[in-house]
Structure 1
Amino acid sequence: MTLLASCQRNALPTHVNGIAQGSAFNITIYGLDDDSLTYRIGTWLSDYNQLASAWDSQSTLSRLNAGDSVYVAQDFVELAQISRMLHSLSNGYMSPTLNPLIEAWGFGSGLGYLNMSDSLAVQQLMRQVNDARSWCPEKPGLWAWPEGMSLSFTSVAQGHSVDLISERLMAMGATAAIVEIGGEVRCFGRKPNGKDFKVGIEKPLEQKSKDLQEIIPLRDRALATSGDYRNVKKDVVTGERYAHTIDAFTGWPARSNMLSATLIGPTCAEADGMATAAMAMGFDATVEWMSAHPLWDAYLIHVRDDGTLATWSSY
C-alpha cells in the first residue's frame, strides 16, 4: 500500500517516518506544531512493541505465551478485548488461538515444521484452537494465560498501534492526520485545502511495486489490506505453494479465491482483523458478510473460476 499525501504551501504539515514493527511507517500531521512529535511517536511505537511483539521474547505477549504471569497494561487489555470482539464479528475466522498453527506453518517467530502431508499433526494442533477457556483480561493487572495456551495478535496489533497514535495526536490538538504503518491506515479530519486524504491500493504482485490498483478517498475512517500474494511458502515435500492465512476451522493454509482484501471500517484494528478474516472466508462469504454490515466498505480482488482476476467494491 502506498500513502498519497500532499499539502498547501500555507499550511505545511509535519511528516514523521521511519521503521517500526518490521515495517515502514509514514505519518502526516496538520495543525500541530510540536518539535517533540518525532520523539513522542518513536516512544509510543517502542512501548507498543514491548507489549505486542511476537518476535521480542521479553514482550508482554511473548512472556504470556511462555507461561509467565505478567502485568498487563491498559493498551494490552484493549488489544486483547478487540481481538476477542473480532473473533465474534468475523464468525470465528479471525482467531487469536491460531498461534500454535501459525508457528507450526512457519509464519510466526520460528521456521515452522509442518508440511502439506502432516494431517495428523494438524489435527492435534487444532485441539488448541478456539479454546473456550478465559484468556482475555478485563482490566490492567497481573495476568497469565490458561496453562498451555498460546495466542497471536498479529492480525490486529499493527492496526491497533495505528489507532493509538491517531487518538493521541487528536488528544494533542492535531486538526487532521493520516497515520500509516505497514499499509494499515487511519485518518481524521481533512487537509487544509478541504480535500480528503487518499490511499493507494497496490496491485497484487509478488514483488512490491509502486503500481496502484485503486485510489480510495478516506475521511475519519481506517483501512487495512491483507493479501496472499507475497508471504508465501513452498512445501518441501509436495512442492505446493501456500500462503500465510490459516483457516481457523481446518488448521490448514486457507484455500481461497481471494487475492487481496481491503476493508474500511471505524478503527484500524477492526479493519486489520477483518481484512485477515476476509482472506480466509473467501470472496462469496466476504460479500455476504458485507451485506450484513452496511457501515463497512471493501475493495476485493479475487480469482474467477476461469483463472482471470476480478474486482468488487462496496462504494
Structure 2
Amino acid sequence: MRATSVLILFLLSGCDPSPTLERFGGPTMGSSYSIQYVRKPDGPAPAQVQAEVEAILQAIDAHYSTYRGDSTVSRFNQLPAHQCLAIDDDMLELVTFGQYLAQQSQGAFDLTVEPLLDVWGFGPQAREMHVPDPQALARARQRVGYAHLRIEGHNLCKDAAIELDFNSIAAGHAVDLIAARLAAMGIDSFLAEATGELKAVGRKPDGSAWRVALELPREDRQVARQVIAVQGLSVSTSGDYRHYFEDNGRRYSHTFDARLGRPVEHDLAAVTVLEGSALLADGYSTLLLILGPQRGWDYAIAHGIAAVLVTRAEGGFVSRSTPAFERAVKGE
C-alpha cells in the first residue's frame, strides 16, 4: 500500500551560507533526516537542538519500526487474534488518522497491510521481491483489513491476526513533533525534514523563503520539475518509482491497494501534497497515490487538498495541480 514517503525533492537553501544558519542531520527510519534553522544569539546551542530532535526520532523508531522486535507496533503485531495492547496518545492519534483514511478509501489505504508487504517481498520479513503464489497471497489477505482493528479507550485490539505498518504516516508525524519542539525552543525559522517529509516555517537569514525543488518521478536521475517557495507548510510526495520490481514485463511497486491484495496498477507515478500538518500531507499523498489518477484527483478536488498529480504518459509525464495547490504556491 505504502508509497513510502520518498518525498521526491531536494532542498535548495541558497549558495551564500550565513553563520546564523545552522544545519545538522543523520540517519533515521532507514533513511535520513536534516534540519536547517536560523539561530538567534540567545538561542539554544546547536548540540542541544540536535539532541532534542534525535530524541524525538528515537521515540518514533521505538514506537513504529517494524524492523525492531521490541517496538510498540511489533509487540502489537506479535499478539494473536482477539488480544489488545495498551497504547499512548501518540499512537492513538496515528491509528485514528489511519482508520479515517481507510474509511475514506473503502479500505484501499490500510494500516494492516503488513502481511501483504511481506508476501510480496517489500516488508521486514521478506527476503526478495517477487509475485507470490496464489495460496500464499490468499493466506496473507485473510490477515488484512482495517475492520479487524478497533480502539477501546487506550487499548488497541485486533479481531484477526493482523499486523500494522505505519510507514505511510510515521515520518510526517515525526516532522510535526520536531516542528513543535523547535518552536517551543524559541526557533521560529526552520526547515525540518525526515525521510523526505518536511515542514518549512519562517524565512532564511537573508529574508527569502525556503525553497523546495520537486522532482520528476524518474528512476535514473534527479530532475526538478518545479521549484516552490514554502512558508508555514508541510510538503509530502509519495511515488512508486524508487521501490519496485519487474516480473515478466510487468512492474510492481510498493504502493498497495489493500482491498485487492496487490500493488496498484495505474499510471499515477507521484503525488505531492501541501498541508499545514506534515502528518496530513504524508497521509493524503499516499491516499491519493493509491486511488490513482482519476479517483485521486476527484478526491483531492472534493476535499480541497493542495496536490499535484504526476501521471506517466507516452514519452514522459503529465502534471495536474489542484486549485488549492496553485493558491498555496502563490501564498494565498
Per the normalisation by structure 1, the TM-score is 0.88
Alpha carbons of structure 1 residues 262 and 138: separation in structure 2 relative to 1, 3 Å: farther
Give the CA deviation at 1:21.
0.7
Equivalent position SS for 1:290? helix
State the partner residue of 1:228: 240
State the partner residue of 1:166: 179
What amino acid maps onto 2:27 in structure 1? Answer: I
State the partner residue of 1:17: 25
What amino acid maps onto 1:297 in structure 2? Answer: A
Counterpart CA distance in 2 for 1:290 and 1:206 is 26
Contact 2:44 2:185 in 1 (8 A): no
Give the CA deviation at 1:248.
2.1
Of residues 48, 57, 63, the one that matches 1:45 is: 57
Alpha carbons of structure 1 residues 9 and 148: separation in structure 2 relative to 1, 3 Å: closer
Counterpart CA distance in 2 for 1:9 and 1:207 is 30
* Greater alpha carbon shift after TM alignment, 24-33 vs 6-15: 6-15
Alpha carbons of structure 1 residues 274 and 90: separation in structure 2 relative to 1, 3 Å: farther
Counterpart CA distance in 2 for 1:145 and 1:217 is 43
Of residues 192, 210, 217, the one that matches 1:204 is: 217
Corresponding position: 1:93 with 2:101: no
Any residues of structure 2 matched to 1:193-272 within 5 Å, and which? 193-209=206-222, 211-235=223-247, 238=248, 240-272=250-282
Give the CA deviation at 1:176.
1.8
What amino acid maps onto 2:251 in structure 1? Answer: R
Any residues of structure 2 matched to 1:1-315 within 5 Å, and which? 1-6=9-14, 12-31=20-39, 33-35=43-45, 36-67=48-79, 70-111=85-126, 115-116=130-131, 118-136=133-151, 138-139=153-154, 143-209=156-222, 211-235=223-247, 238=248, 240-294=250-304, 296-304=305-313, 306=314, 308-314=316-322, 315=326
Counterpart CA distance in 2 for 1:256 and 1:243 is 11
Alpha carbons of structure 1 residues 23 and 162: separation in structure 2 relative to 1, 3 Å: same
Alpha carbons of structure 1 residues 149 and 309: separation in structure 2 relative to 1, 3 Å: same
Counterpart CA distance in 1 for 2:315 and 2:143 is 36
Alpha carbons of structure 1 residues 27 and 310: separation in structure 2 relative to 1, 3 Å: same
* Greater alpha carbon shift after TM alignment, 194-203 vs 283-292: 194-203
Contact 1:67 1:147 in 2 (8 A): no
* Structure possessing the higher relative contact order (Cα contacts under 8 Å, 6 or more residues apart): 2
Contact 1:31 1:173 in 2 (8 A): no
What amino acid maps onto 1:281 in structure 2? Answer: L
Structure 1: gaps of 5 or more residues: none
Per the normalisation by structure 2, the TM-score is 0.83
What amino acid maps onto 1:267 in structure 2? Answer: S
The number of residue pairs the alignment matches comes to 308
Give the CA deviation at 1:260.
1.2
Contact 2:102 2:146 in 1 (8 A): no
Structure 2: gaps of 5 or more residues: 1-8, 327-332
Contact 2:264 2:290 in 1 (8 A): yes
Contact 1:80 1:137 in 2 (8 A): no
What amino acid maps onto 2:282 in structure 1? Answer: D
